[in-house]
Amino acid sequence: MFVSYKINSSIFSSGTTASTINIPVKIDFQTVDNGELIDRVFVDTETTKVINPILDYEKVRFLPVYNNGTPKQVDNVTYNLSFLVNGVLKNPTYYSDISLDDSDIKYERNYFTEGYLYLGFYDSDNSLTQNLVSEIEIYNVLTDADFVGGVHVGVNQPKPASQIPIKLVVSNPLTVNGVYEGYHLYDYKDDVSNNVPKYLYMKASFFNAKDGKTTNLMNSPNIYSIDTLVNKLYTRYKLYRDLTSFYYEIDTTYSSNVTYELVNNIPTNIIVNLYQIQAL
């Protein structure tokens, strides 16, 4: 900031060789506008409001575990299905009970291979407010246990359809030779915090490619009235993380259809029993 002064020489006496001009140290100024204040308080604040927050849409893979203090990965998850046969719930139910014959199994026709178990995962067990989070389809496939001799080799034939129970087994792709789709769950990384679990509620149904029918399933073999049936439709999955990985457990306290198989305290299998809905 520059200040200019105009000096009139006539004010000095004749013969004066020196004089003094006093300039004050404090110079008052007048604010012309509030531009900087407006930019800092209003413009910057409102600009921040209209910028969408950064969201991380990366999904991560959750491993099935048994947790008795330390998570231990389970190599297999087995879904056993029971259906009504002649009006009575049959456990176990065999493929012959849902119209599949020996040739469908032996030649692995589409009647067999295109049938699948559907798992829908919701953020709540309240059907009025829930949102679908993810879904999995697990297709029929023969396992070693479904072959004569208990192993699938070139000379062994599949057992008759009346001896093969309807169960879908999904396995760890790193250690087991089997079906892998449905073994892992996938969810958004930022939705699960350390030591704060997230719960998903699974509702299942089975599509029979032989007759084109879809059968809804529940977590109990009992018969319920319509008003209480809604509480038996779901199986709860617990998703959580630690500093090293992401895990899920299938809850044994929410419903009684889940068990863990342990061999020498080592988890080998999670069994989920699902039953055709029976209602009064």
What is the spatial distance between Cα 153 and Cα 158, in angstroms, rounded to a whole number?
A: 10
Can you give the residue ranges of every domain in the chain?
A: 9-50, 59-276
Structural tokens at position 263: 């061999």
**CA 272, 278, 279, 280 torsion-angle sign:** negative
CA 201 to chain centre: 10
Q: Which pLDDT score is estimated for 169?
A: 96
What is the spatial distance between Cα 86 and Cα 78, in angstroms, rounded to a whole number?
A: 26
Q: Which pLDDT score is estimated for 276?
A: 98
For 19-50, the pLDDT digits (tens) are 666 666 666 655 556 667 666 777 777 777 77
| pTM reported for the whole predicted model | 0.80
CB within 8 A of 60, min separation 6: which ones? 186, 187, 188, 189, 246
What mean pLDDT do residues 117-146 have?
A: 95
Average pLDDT of the residues of the chain: 88
Asked whether the predicted pLDDT for residue 241 surpasses 80, the reply is: yes
What is the spatial distance between Cα 77 and Cα 62, in angstroms, rounded to a whole number?
A: 13
* Percentage of the residues of the chain whose pLDDT score is greater than 70: 84
For 53-107, the pLDDT digits (tens) are 666 668 899 999 999 888 999 999 999 999 999 999 999 999 999 999 999 999 9
